[in-house]
Amino acid sequence: MGEVDPAFIQDPQHRPKFSTIQPEDIPVIDLSPITNHTLSDSSSIENLVKEIGSACKEWGFFQVTNHGVPLTLRQNIEIASRLFFAQSLEEKRKVSKSENNTLGYHDTEHTKNIRDWKEVFDFLARDPTFIPLTSDEHDDRLTQLTNQSPEYPPNFRVIIQEYIQEMEKLCFKLLELIALSLGIEANRFEEFFIKNQTSSIRLNHYPPCPYPGLALGVGRHKDPGALTILAQDEVGGLEVKRKADQEWIGVKPTLDAYIINVGDIIQVWSNDAYESVEHRVVVNSEKERFSIPFFFYPAHETEVKPLEELINEQNPSKYRPYKWGKFITHRKNTNFKNQNVENIQIYHYKLA
Ligand SMILES: O=C(O)CCC(=O)C(=O)O
Ligand SMILES: [Fe+2]
């Protein structure tokens, strides 16, 4: 990455403040009532559902502990990620994203048209995955996406696949809890993911940055999918916009916990009962940072709209329906260059 390259410079109002805001911890939720079936009774599950409901409503972000994902799998993928990024740019570019293949290594992603101070490796949960070829709603053609596998570190593909399986299991459990907290059937969301889900995992590496007051690792954004499960290392840098006062709050690294955030799709399904929350990543001049988000995305043909059970005359639908595949194709096509126009956002589907 270059020295002071203007592509990375945030507008003054979006630069990190490194200020004195007291970090208030986002909620930490103990999932043992569902991971430890023999011990749990219905009242502990009811309490858990309530906790999840208030965390989704008040924060849109929370951490989970006792989540059932084996620590060794997380350690394996964290080590693999470090080994992969420690290679020369030339090696990493052997598995570069290209015009025809959006998976693999890249370091030029833009968020809101400003370049992010990061390099990433993207990998699909389903190989192959089908998404629309173009975002034109009249164009029915699909494109097939497939994974790239680096030669180094060895077993990269197996390590990442084992980890993805655990992420999916956790997502299904969390979606059940979220459904219950909205007062609907526990398995209400399952159908959107059983066939043709478009989920993916990303390895993020944020190198030390010589001007951390001007650039961001990832600019402010909301995640477009249903849920994100994030593993962050001990360095810290993720900030969440607190709903109560719109201040940026740092998310303290917690050993072996996962950070969960509600994405735009849950916002729409719940008809705004739960909202996706803006977040960003600040970088620092000394330490590199690694993180691994898993993005839980439904099948491309999913029509996203508020659930019928949650709308009525008093609470009419707040969104026009949209096709998930078209949305994500539009996003993918606009994330890699400065376009001087805003790319697609969920509020574009909001009914007045
Ligand atoms: O690295 C992080 O902590 C968050 C990354 C993120 O928000 C994203 O990739 O969508
Ligand atoms: Fe994100």
CATH 1.20.200.10 fits 15-349, yes or no: no
Comparing CA positions, the residue from 194, 190, 105 lying closest to residue 147 is 105
Q: Where are the domains of the chain?
A: 15-349
- The bound ligand whose nearest atom lies closest to the alpha carbon of 239 is 1
282 touches ligand 1 (CB under 6 Å)? no
Q: Do 108 and 119 contact (CB within 8 A), yes or no?
A: no
291 touches ligand 1 (CB under 6 Å)? yes
More reliable by pLDDT, 163 or 342:
163
pTM of the model: 0.95
- The radius of gyration computed from the CA coordinates of the chain, to the nearest angstrom, equals 20
With a cut of 70, say whether residue 204 has pLDDT above it: yes
Residue 338 has a pLDDT of: 55
Q: How many CB atoms lie within 10 A of CB 106?
A: 20
Secondary structure (DSSP) of 177-221: HHHHHTTS-TTTTTHHHHTTB--EEEEEEE---S-TTT--SEEEE
Task: Using pLDDT thresholds of 50, 70 and 90, give the confidence band for residue 241.
Answer: very high
Distances (CA, A) of 265 to 16, 149, 292, 303: 28, 30, 20, 10
Mean per-residue pLDDT, 231-242:
95
CA of 1 to the centre of ligand 2 (A): 22
Residue 36 has a pLDDT of: 76
Query: What distance in Å separates the CA atoms of residue 90 and residue 296, rounded to the nearest whole number?
Result: 31
pLDDT tens column, 2-38 = 467 899 999 999 998 876 555 668 999 999 999 976 6
Task: Using pLDDT thresholds of 50, 70 and 90, give the confidence band for residue 90.
Answer: very high
Using CA of residue 336, residue 341, residue 347, residue 351, what is the dihedral sign?
negative
Distances (CA, A) of 97 to 24, 93, 255, 291: 38, 8, 32, 19
pLDDT tens column, 110-161 = 999 999 999 999 999 999 999 999 999 899 999 999 999 999 999 999 999 9
Kindly give the number of the ligand 1 atom that is closest to the alpha carbon of 223: 10
Instruction: List, as ranges, residues with CB under 5 A of the ion ligand 2.
Output: 223
Residue 38 has a pLDDT of: 63
ipTM of the complex model: 0.99
Query: What distance in Å separates the CA atoms of residue 248 and residue 239, rounded to the nearest whole number?
Result: 6
Kindly give the number of the ligand 1 atom that is closest to the alpha carbon of 289: 1
Kindly give the number of the ligand 1 atom that is closest to the alpha carbon of 291: 1
Residue 19 has a pLDDT of: 62
